[in-house]
Structure formats: structure tokens, C-alpha cells
Structure 1
Amino acid sequence: MRILNWGVDSAAAVTEDLYECVVGNFGQPDFWGRYLSTIPNVSEGLTLEEVQLIHDRGMKIMTIYNNFSAAVGERAGAVAARNAIFKARQLGIEEGSFLFANVERFFDTDAAWLTAWVETLYNSPYRPGIYADPDEGPFNAAFCEAAAANPIVRQQSVIWSAEPEPGTTTKQNAPRQFTPNRPDCDANVWAWQYGRDADECPIDTVLMENRLYKELF
């Protein structure tokens, strides 16, 4: 039987108030997805104090890198990966953890960027993850092109799918079946953001397979 873990992600920093909001309205997360970088009007970057708070409350951290607005070109993909690695090291993110590139559906995206992201992380102490929408936008075609050209992309990367979106739920009422949408080619889709922008707290709700959860920080 497939073991699933439930959690949330947020652009806002995890404070005691936000944590209590989530626990009170949704349940205790197994993990919390957080961004590595502060980007004005987009995301607050993870801090050492926040890492401590999250771990003290019994949760793991899913790290997300989003300091880019297009995923085009080999050089840009490698630079993004190196910047993510630098940020992760600053925060003491454990080696072997996945770092997820935040590839939005409206980003220009190509195979060269995705390949460089995966290869650079594969050759580092960290592991390559990609948050993406396999239904809308250019990610599907770009990923399948990259995976066909380079087996490392298919074998080593893990995808966190943004589709479908049945909506946010409590932990208890999370989908019983793990049914994220997938690219049109073979891919390791191990996480699913099934609900976005909850009304009660500024979070999204996420399911992931236990094999990914075990590799979180």
C-alpha cells in the first residue's frame, strides 16, 4: 500500500500564529514547503530561526527555489541550481535533501534549463526536484525533450505536480488516492499540490509519497 504524507507550503514565513492557524483549521502537517529566497511581493525567504521552529514542531522542510522568472537556457539553469545550493548550505539544509525549482505554468521553459538544473544538482550534495504544471504551459514538452535526450533527467529528478486542483482540505479529508497529473513521458511524480490559496490561512495543501518525505530535511 502506498504511504502518503500530508503537508502545506507557504510564501509567508512560518510564525507561531501561522502554525496555529494551520493546525487549528487543517491539522498537523508532516512537512512544510518553504522558499529559499526573499522576493518582494512574492515570498519571504526561509531563515535559520524558522528552520528551528518548524523542526521543533515535528515537521520536515520541503525547500523551494524561486529566484527566477523564466526557465530558459543551459547557463541560466546551472546558475539557478548553484544559487539554490548556496542558499541551502547557508541554512544548513541536510545533504541529500531535494531542492525544488519553482517552474510556474506561465514561465518560458526549455529542455536546456531543466537539464542544467538536474545535472548541476545531481553533481552536488543535493537532489533535483521540480515544481511544475504538466497540463498548462511549456513544461511538459520541455521536460519530455530533456528526459529523452538525457537519462539523468528522467531517472534522478522528482516532480511536484500542480495539477489537478480539487481544492484545499484538512489533513483528515485529503484525497485518499494519489492521482497527480503527469508529463506525457516517464517521470518520477512524487508530490502533488492539490489545493491552492486556502481561505483560512495563506497556505497550499500538498500530498507526497513517503519515499520523498523520508528525503526531506
Structure 2
Amino acid sequence: MQILNWGVDSADAVTEDLYQCVVSNFGQPDFWGRYLSTIPNVSDGLTVEEFGFIRDKGMKLMPIYNNFSAAVGHRAGVVAARNAIFKARQLGIAEGSFVFANVERFFDVDADWIIAWVDAFLTSPYRPGIYADPDEGPFNEAYCQAASMSNNVVEQTVIWSAEPEPGVTTKRNAPRIFAPSTPDCQANVWAWQYGRDADECPIDTVLMENRLFQTLV
């Protein structure tokens, strides 16, 4: 039987109030996805203190890098990866963790950026992940082109899929079958954001395979 882990992600910092909101309405997360950078009106950047709070509550961290608004070109991919790696080091995120590039469905994306993002991580202590939508937007085509050009993309990258969206649930009522959308080519899709924008708390709900969960800290 496949082992799945349930958690949430949020653009807001994890405070005691937000944590209690999630626990009381949805259940205790196994992990919490958080953005590494502060972007005005978009996300609170993770701090060392917040990282400690997350761990003290018995959760693991799912790191997300979102300080970019397009994923086009080799140079931009290298810069994004280097910045993400720097932030992860700065926060004390353990070696071996995946760091997920936040590639929204409305972003421009190309194969050169994806290849550069992946390759830059291979000489770092961290591993390349990408949050993306395989169904809507240009990611599917760009990823499959990158995969046809680079074995590293196929073998080293983990995808966190944004589709489908059956809706937010409690931990107890999370989907029993892990069924994220995948690109139209070989891909390691190990996480699934199956519910967005909960009414009770400002979070999304996420399932991930245990093999990804074991790499988190």
C-alpha cells in the first residue's frame, strides 16, 4: 500500500494562530510548504525562527522559491537556482532537501530555464524540484522538451503538481488515491496540491509520496 503524507502550504508566515487554525480545522500537518523570499503582497519569506517553530511542532519543511515571475532562458534559470540555494543555506535547510521552483500556470516557461535550474542544483547540497501545472499553461510542453534534451531533468527533478483540484479537505478526508496530473512525458511527480485557498485558514492542502517526505527536514 502506498504511503502518503498530508500537509499544507501557505504564503503567510506560520504563527501560533495560523498553526492552531490549521490543526483545529484540518488536522496536524506532516509538513508545511513555505516560501523562502518575502515578496510584497504575495508572500512572507521564511525566517530561521519560523523554521524552528515548524520543526518544534513536529512538522517538516517543504521549501519553495518564488522570487521570479517568468521561467525563460538559461541565464535566468541559473540565477534563480543560485538565489534559491543561497536562501536555503542561509536558513539552515539540511543538505539533500528538494527546493521547489514556484512556476505558476500563467508564467512564461521554456526548456532552457528548466535545464539550467536543474543543472545548477546538481553542484549544490540541494535537489531540484518544480511546482507547476501540467494541464494549464506552457509548462507541460517546456518540461517535455527539456526532458528530451537532458537526462538530468528526467532523473533528478521532482514535480509538485497543481492539478487536478478536487478541493480542500481535512487530513482525515484527504484523497486516498494519489492521482496528480503529470506531464506528457517521463516525470517524477511526487507531490500534489489538491486543494487551494481554504476558507477557514489561508492555506492550500497537499499530498506527497513518502519517498519525498523522507527527504524533507
| TM bracket (short chain) | over 0.9
Which residue is equivalent to 1:8? 8
Aligned length: 217
C-alpha distance in 2, partners of 1:84/1:176?
33
Residue 150 (structure 1) shift: 0.5
Deviations 1:91-119 (A, max 9, x none): 00001000000000000000000000001
Matched, 1:60 2:60: yes
Task: Give 1:13-28 correspondences, 5 Å limit.
Answer: 13-28=13-28
C-alpha distance in 2, partners of 1:91/1:149?
33
Which residue is equivalent to 1:175? 175
Task: Give 1:9-158 correspondences, 5 Å limit.
Answer: 9-158=9-158
Which structure 2 residue ranges, 5 or more long, are not aligned?
none
Residue 122 (structure 1) shift: 1.7
C-alpha distance in 1, partners of 2:66/2:135?
20
C-alpha distance in 2, partners of 1:49/1:205?
23
- Percent identity over paired residues: 78
Matched, 1:214 2:217: no
Give the residue type in structure 1 aligned to 2:88.
Answer: A
Give the residue type in structure 1 aligned to 2:152.
Answer: I
Give the residue type in structure 2 aligned to 1:66.
Answer: N
When the two structures are superposed, what TM-score results if normalisation uses the length of structure 1?
Answer: 1.00
Secondary structure of 2:147's match?
helix
Residue 123 (structure 1) shift: 1.8
Secondary structure of 1:166's match?
coil
When the two structures are superposed, what TM-score results if normalisation uses the length of structure 2?
Answer: 1.00
Which structure 1 residue ranges, 5 or more long, are not aligned?
none
Residue 38 (structure 1) shift: 0.1
Residue 26 (structure 1) shift: 0.1
Secondary structure of 1:123's match?
coil
Residue 19 (structure 1) shift: 0.1
RMSD of aligned alpha carbons: 0.4
Deviations 1:69-97 (A, max 9, x none): 00000000000000000000000000100
- Give 4+ residue runs of structure 1 displaced > 2 Å after superposition: none
